Structure 1
Amino acid sequence: MTLSQIDRLAAWRALSPDASMEVVDRDSPCNPHEVAAVARSVLASRATSLSEGDRLNILEQLMIAYLETANLAAAFDCYHQIAAKFPATKSVRTTRLLGLYQEAQEKYDDAFTTYKEALERDETNLPVLRRIVALLVSKGEKQQAIEQLAKYLDSFMQDAEGWLYIATLYLSECMYTQASFALEELIMLRPANHLYHLRYADVQATMGDHVLALKHYCRAVELCRDNVRGLYGIRLMVPRVSAAIKGSVKSRGSDTLNGAPSIETLGELEKLTETRLNDVYSLAKTDATIQAVIRAWLRNS
């Protein structure tokens, strides 16, 4: 055993401090089988030299790795050692571990009760809040999950994953206005992520704001030049925005629409997307028949 093993465990804790309870791919840097092996080695070879804090951190890490690999007996042994030092009645962190163990046993109602009790003691505890939301979603109680997640985001407004999660929940309930707000918060936190602009553009297109949708499809393509979804989004929005401008001419005598590009710019966007989509499919060596269908659609759309 080397000191680097302790460093690796600490790095893994930094990568995933909240224990997602989802099985990690074997190629992941946080593979639970590898985490368990390293943690056992450290605990066996440095049992007397580890500080009490380091020992308990590693025990917690080992317990979660055991839960993720369905070794419940070994996981409970780790929990027992932690609870002997910090009983669940006095430690929210230990209470959360008990809830994780109950989830692994498929005792979801017991786990939910455990988490709620922990939350009553510390209502801003991030890991516990995440577990409550996950359990509510798994039970189909999405409205309650949204309420819990909204409370969580009131305290942790910088959590991009939280905004993405609540946006997804809003969309699953067809709450487009709320989803739009959540995605706006997400874009402010991660403005260079083209996928967030794409999702926001999709929501705006669904809500009928084709001008705003067009802007964000363009932003997505600016950030990721050959993004096919973004290019198709532009292609679909251009005729809708053009029709809105023409409607504005008839109703108000103006050839402009608030925030919209000019008709000339829209025409250039249409040509650009046709060229880029043809290039993308050509470079990908797409089947000739499929390419012919795409070109025909682009000409006639």
Structure 2
Amino acid sequence: MEFTSALQKLGGYQPRKSQKSQEVLQKGTSLLASQSFASKGDDGKHPSLWESFEKLLLAAMDQGDMDVADECLKVLVEKFPDSPRIDCLTGIVLETKETPETALSFYDALLKDDPSNAAAWRRKVGILKRIGKIDKAVEELCKMLDTFYTEVEGWMELADIYSSCQQYTHALQALSHVLLLAPQNPFHVLHFAETAFLVPDVPLAFKMFLQAVDMTDDEDQDGVSPGDTVPTGLALRAWFGVKLVSRLIPFPMV
């Protein structure tokens, strides 16, 4: 897994009990029990071994098995004592076992040593949101985005926070940065349109819903024109948005 991408995923990680994580936990515990990872990990022929430990740790967190999570973390810390990625995993485990204040102090220490650790910023913001300190979460997220402007996930999280507080104009401003950074993603265009509808900015919402339709409707899918197919997924949401907004537009009487 590419390093920056891995840190981004860890920054946004949230525990969830899924069938996949249960399967990873069941299969991965044999890796810990075998104790064969030490020799394999050092011979240079198993580059994905330590990534498997990370996946096992997160799967154990998902399933609430902190004994396995602690054991995986111990192995990874011993192998990579100065890794920002492992520091983030340590923080995730702390969030489960310790108080929010303890986890926040840990992330503050990480950021003091390395202000470029975007994953630590994201984890800190997540804790502040969970304990109800929304103003502080917004403040920290804005600080992060001042440093890491290209963090699309950060701008989306900021927009979600504003939307949860019904501050749709601010959410729209955050999403405008998302569109600048990822203009070809139809989901972002649709998200922008739906938020504009809530502002409400009807002309802007109508324009962006139509743009989302244009991006999600295939011109010629398997030889069938768009007019002869039933829209699904994002295309369906985009067309539904067009329908909602068109009801609010005062078309002139003919």
Q: If the length of structure 2 is used for normalisation, what is the TM-score?
A: 0.73
Hey, what's the Cα distance between the residues in 2 that align with 1:27 and 1:57?
16
**1:34 Cα deviation after fit:** 6.1
For residue 163 of structure 1, what is the aligned residue in structure 2?
Answer: 155
Change in 2 beyond 3 A, CA 1:183/1:38? farther
- 1:47 to 2:55 alignment: no
CA offsets 1:89-140 (integer angstroms, 9 cap, x no match) = x665554333222222253221121111111111220221121111111111
Structure 1 segments unaligned to the other structure (5+ residues): 1-9, 247-262, 265-301
Choose from 123, 131, 134 the match for 1:142.
134
Hey, what's the Cα distance between the residues in 1 that align with 2:78 and 2:37?
20
* Bigger radius of gyration: 1
Helix, strand or coil: the match of 1:23?
A: coil
Q: How does 1:109-188 map to 2 (within 5 A)?
A: 109-188=101-180
Choose from 76, 79, 93 the match for 2:73.
79
CA offsets 1:166-192 (integer angstroms, 9 cap, x no match) = 111111122223211211122233334
Choose from 191, 210, 214 the match for 2:183.
191
Q: How many residues align?
A: 232
**1:214 Cα deviation after fit:** 1.0
Choose from 202, 210, 219 the match for 2:194.
202
For residue 66 of structure 1, what is the aligned residue in structure 2?
Answer: 60
Q: How does 1:1-301 map to 2 (within 5 A)?
A: 16-17=6-7, 18-19=9-10, 20-23=13-16, 25-27=18-20, 32-33=24-25, 36-37=28-29, 39-40=31-32, 44-51=35-42, 59-84=53-78, 93-105=85-97, 107-225=99-217, 226=231, 227-238=235-246, 240-242=248-250
Hey, what's the Cα distance between the residues in 2 that align with 1:175 and 1:147?
15
Helix, strand or coil: the match of 2:250?
A: helix
Change in 2 beyond 3 A, CA 1:26/1:47? same
For residue 221 of structure 2, what is the aligned residue in structure 1?
Answer: none
Change in 2 beyond 3 A, CA 1:159/1:220? same
**1:85 Cα deviation after fit:** 5.9
Structure 2 contact 189–211 (Cα < 8 Å) conserved:
yes
Residue identity matched to 1:99: G
Change in 2 beyond 3 A, CA 1:203/1:64? closer
Helix, strand or coil: the match of 1:48?
A: helix
Hey, what's the Cα distance between the residues in 2 that align with 1:91 and 1:190?
29
Hey, what's the Cα distance between the residues in 1 that align with 2:4 and 2:143?
25
Greater relative contact order structure (CA < 8 Å, 6+ sep)? 2
Structure 1 contact 66–74 (Cα < 8 Å) conserved:
yes
Percent of residue pairs identical: 26
Structure 1 contact 180–204 (Cα < 8 Å) conserved:
yes
Structure 2 segments unaligned to the other structure (5+ residues): 218-230
Hey, what's the Cα distance between the residues in 1 that align with 2:43 and 2:119?
22
Q: If the length of structure 1 is used for normalisation, what is the TM-score?
A: 0.63
Change in 2 beyond 3 A, CA 1:82/1:217? closer
Alpha-carbon RMSD across the aligned residues, in angstroms, is 3.5
Residue identity matched to 1:144: K
